[in-house]
Amino acid sequence: MFTRPELEKYLTRCMQSDADFAEIYEEDELTEHITALNEDIEQVSSSRQCGTGIRLYRGVQSVYGYTNDTDDASLTALIEDLKGAISDNEAGSCPAASDVTLTRVEYENNNPVRIDFEKTPLSEKASLLKRAAKAALQYDPRIEKVQSGLLNVRQDVQISNSEGRLVSDSRVRTRIMVEAFAREGDNLQSGGDRPGAGMGLEFYEQTTPESAGREAARTALVNLSAKDCPSGKMPVIIDNGFGGVIFHEACGHALEATSVAKDQSVFCNKLGTKIAADCVSAVDDGTIPNAWGSQNIDDEGNFQKRRVLIKNGILTSYMVDRLNGRRMGVPSTSSGRRESYRFEPTSRMSNTFILAGNDSFEDLFEGIERGLYAKKMGGGSVNPQTGEFNFSVSEGYMIENGKITYPVKGVSLIGSGSEILMNIDRVCSNLERSQGMCGSSSGSIPTDVGQPAIRVSQITVGGTANE
Amino acid sequence: MNKKKWIEYALANGFDSFEIYQETGKTKTVNWYQGTTDSAVTSRVTGTALRGRISGKMLSYATEETGDEHMEQIINEMKEQAGIIGSSESGTILSPEKTDECTSSRTYTPFTNEEIRAALSDLEKSILAYDPCIVQAVHLVYEEESVERTIFNSKGLDIKDKGSVQVIGGGAVASRDGDIRNDFRHETVSSFDSFNAAAFADKLCGEVVRQLGAGPVKSTSCPVIFEKEAMTSLFAAFSDIFSGDRISRGISPLSGKEGRRIFSGLITMIDDPREDAAPFIYNYDDEGHPTCRKYVVREGVFETVLHSTESAARMNTVSSGNGFKGGCSAPVRAVPKNFFIVPGDMPLSGLMECIGNGLVITDLAGLHAGLDHVTGDFSLQCSGYKVTDGERAENVTLITVAGNYLEMMDRVLAVGNDIEWKTSPAACPSIAFKELSIGGL
């Protein structure tokens, strides 16, 4: 990381141009990934990524450059390129720039780490995978094999800008990923579990590798007996935890300023209006201690916040980064995030979830003659402009006359976000969050999705059963 | 980085072989919005990946800090890995092997800044002028990228491979009576003079405007044509079922099926990292193994499992030159590179006549999640149009298509002749299938 005088020198140089704002993002990231097949450790890979990204604004135009060649000559050359590019856009006079003076911002770490993965012997980390595999293999004799991975990441960032702000953050996260394979004759099915958190290895004291292994095995076994699922519109109960991917896809992305600022979202100009059923309130909260999607500061150096997106069905906030805030004429909501120095930040989610309601789980099944219970979800995607979204169901069951009858496989759910939000008619009290990786223009970032179990009166279900 | 010094140090400290892989990428991207440059990105990044073997175990480390002062610490950290890695087969550090290198016939002349602005401005105007229904031109972008890979190892391998590409992309949004449709396309461009903004806009906007008013159909099972781009995306998403990584572990639906008929006799699949029509060609894989053209499936018969040195060792065979990384710091995996389905001789209109009544799928969504790579089952959001009596009829959207990839590829009616390489290392013609499940109303 550069020293404060070095950063002041570079930022001052950046501002000796047509730029009205300059920012330097420095990153030093260590990633460790251990993989295993059954109880045999197959691979350990470590990677270190260290680089710098520099961004200049002129009004709502931006230029961004990044390199991992951070000697003075290379960085100076990059700055001169960027200055040329920001001035190249339109004719304009170069304002007289004053020297940038930085003040370091200190704060209390909201995401402390107790057991540092870098100080833990490899053998101890490998044993976490062996424990997960053992638990899965012992769960049932039909579990044939188990693949697993342990991911540990430490991302140190330092962000400075021409407004004089200098701030650092150290983000540590860990995740165990277990996939179990169950066989019955020629029928081979898989099931997975991937819990994680923004903390050190103490995470595995509360969420044990054994629990992840057993959950993966349980899902694989359910899929062994799953039947083809019928297609068509029907009521769907989406369970808590990763079920929240429905809100992430159907609504979350379309509330990011990345789409809203350029009139490319179905939710443009809808602040203060009703976009969801009364029973729906939702937040994006980057401040939850040690959560998977939490940070002390966003990737533009602002303190993370809790953003209430929807309150009782009314849209109350978008998620806004600095540049799109300029376009929209509103301040940043501390939502500027990026995968690494190789990406220019934009507005992104952190830990996004629907708040708990008052219904009991049993209430959700009342009155459903034929529907789907989506217990576990896979990933999904959305077209923010049209609001059309899709996501896959990794563990699902048919509901007939209010009762769960049989498991189904090969299922996806599709719909339009604006319609689905209005069609949520029951919200349970069992709020839970789960971990995922979210992809967008600023790369792949860790985010929590979450919700209590909800019921949607109608969604299009895609299956393979011919009726 | 003094590569010889690193290798000597590694060999002196217990490694029996050692490899240094380096990748240097340069990019330039310009985004255009509402008549002006919106943002510009420039980069130069070098990454280094180290691999070495001790007692038959492959150890690895990737870093962007390669000053010689880090050598001792990094190599010692790699040695620590040997203590926990188990007994499974590992990859090999390769000796040099003679091969005739080829060069791509594609050449690129980078645009000047003035040419970039002129091309994107022209494209924006062409999109907006296409039809009164077009309300926005979005995601207008010019990108150039060059990558150079070098591999240097203790067995005398010292190779270099490089490639570059230039791409222009753009999107259009159409609106009518409250219905909004959008699409995005991109194409490689060899030079400013070869770029035809009006032709690009015609291809993009024609389909977007046609999609206005589209809606779902009733749930049904019917003959389905996957139009070439949709077919390519599904084919690419399922390509890992041919990987030795999955087959050797018994978690591909093709495990144990080598030499057997797996698909319709109309299906032939070739993997050729040196395919000249593809955007990049590769003389070597990322382990330094020379690449070659190979039939993966010939007339429905599964001929070749794709292998890296590690997956080959697991199956007691040799690498097929398919050990590639998904980025400098990623591990080597056995993957296809420039993988395609051999085209037939029927145009899309012929395929439509062939099915008579059914559906043409032009776009798929949710490919990263809606596939099961263990069973081949899939269920995906899609859009396209109906076919009635062999002719294009109403447009459809917000439906799902579901089935099993292996069963589907065994029930082929006809293979089209319209293969087109774009920016991905996979390509397919349009293909007509007997029946798939459609989920809608």
Q: Which residues of A touch B81 (CB under 8 A)?
A: 44, 122
Instruction: Give pLDDT, residue A93.
Output: 52
The answer to whether domain B113-150+157-211 has CATH 3.30.2290.10 is yes
Distance CA A158, CA A299 (A): 9
- The 3 state secondary structure assigned to B37-96 is EEEEEEEEEEEEEEEEEECCEEEEEEECCCCHHHHHHHHHHHHHHCCCCCCCCCCCCCCC
Q: How far apart are CA A436 and CA A448, in angstroms?
A: 6
- Please tell me the CATH superfamily of domain A117-158+169-221, with its number: PmbA/TldD superfamily (3.30.2290.10)
A208 in contact with B, Cβ within 8 Å: no
Q: Per-domain residue ranges for chain A?
A: 117-158+169-221, 228-462
Type of residue numbered B211: Q
Q: How far apart are CA A12 and CA A79, in angstroms?
A: 11
Tell if the CB–CB gap between A381 and B398 is shorter than 8 Å: no
- State whether the Cα torsion A252-A253-A256-A262 is positive or negative: negative
Asked if A81 reaches chain B (Cβ–Cβ under 8 Å), the answer is: yes
Helices and strands (DSSP H and E) totals, chain B: 9, 19
Beta bridge partners of B222: B436
In this prediction, residue A91 carries a pLDDT of 45
Question: In this structure, which amino acid lies at residue A131?
Answer: R
How far apart are alpha carbons B307 and B290 in whole angstroms? 12
A428's CB contacts (< 8 A; 6+ apart) are A240, A356, A357, A359, A360, A361, A363, A364, A452, A453, A454
Q: Are strands A187-193 and A165-184 parallel, antiparallel or unpaired?
A: antiparallel
In whole angstroms, give the CA distance from residue B441 to residue B431: 26
Q: What is the rounded distance in angstroms from the CA atom of residue A190 to the CA atom of residue A178? A: 10
**What are the residue boundaries of the structural domains of chain B, listed by start?**
113-150+157-211, 220-236+343-439
The stretches in chain A having pLDDT less than 70 are 88-96, 466-467
List, for residues A334-361, the tens digit of each pLDDT value: 999 999 999 999 999 999 999 999 999 9
pTM over 0.90: yes
Residue contacts between A and B (CB atoms, under 8 Å):
236
Mutate to test the interface with A, among B28, B59, B64 (most CBs of A within 10 A): B64
Supply the DSSP string of B186-229, one letter for each residue: EEE-S-TTT--HHHHHHHHHHHHHHHTT-B---SEEEEEEE-HH
Residue of chain B whose alpha carbon sits nearest to that of A61: B38
Q: Which of A198, A204, A176 is nearest to A351 (CA)?
A: A198
Rounded CA-CA distance B272/B241 in Å is 17
A127 touches chain B (CB under 8 A): no
Q: What is the structure's pLDDT at A96?
A: 62
Residues A307, A284 contacting (CB under 8 angstroms): yes
The side-by-side arrangement of strands in the sheet containing B269-271 is B301-302, B294-298, B269-271, B339-341, B426-427
Per-residue pLDDT tens for A66-105?
A: 999 889 999 999 999 999 888 755 544 555 678 999 999 9
- Does B252 contact chain A (CB < 8 Å)? no
Q: Which of residues 138-157 of B touch A (CB under 8 A)?
A: 138
B299 touching chain A per CB within 8 A: no
Interchain contact B178–A (C-beta under 8 A):
no
Q: Which of residues 278-317 of A touch B (CB under 8 A)?
A: none
Residues of B in contact with A464 (CB under 8 A): 377, 379, 402-404, 437
Q: Which of A48, A105, A461, A83 minimizes the C-alpha distance to A303? A: A105
Q: Which residue on chain A is closest to B216 by alpha carbon?
A: A460
3-class state of residue B11 by DSSP? helix
- Asked if the C-beta of A4 comes within 8 angstroms of chain B's C-beta atoms, the answer is no
Q: In order along chain B (441 residues), what is the average pLDDT of each group of 10 residues?
A: 95 96 95 92 94 93 91 93 84 94 91 94 97 96 95 96 94 93 93 96 94 91 96 97 96 95 98 95 96 98 97 95 94 96 97 97 89 92 95 94 95 97 94 94 84
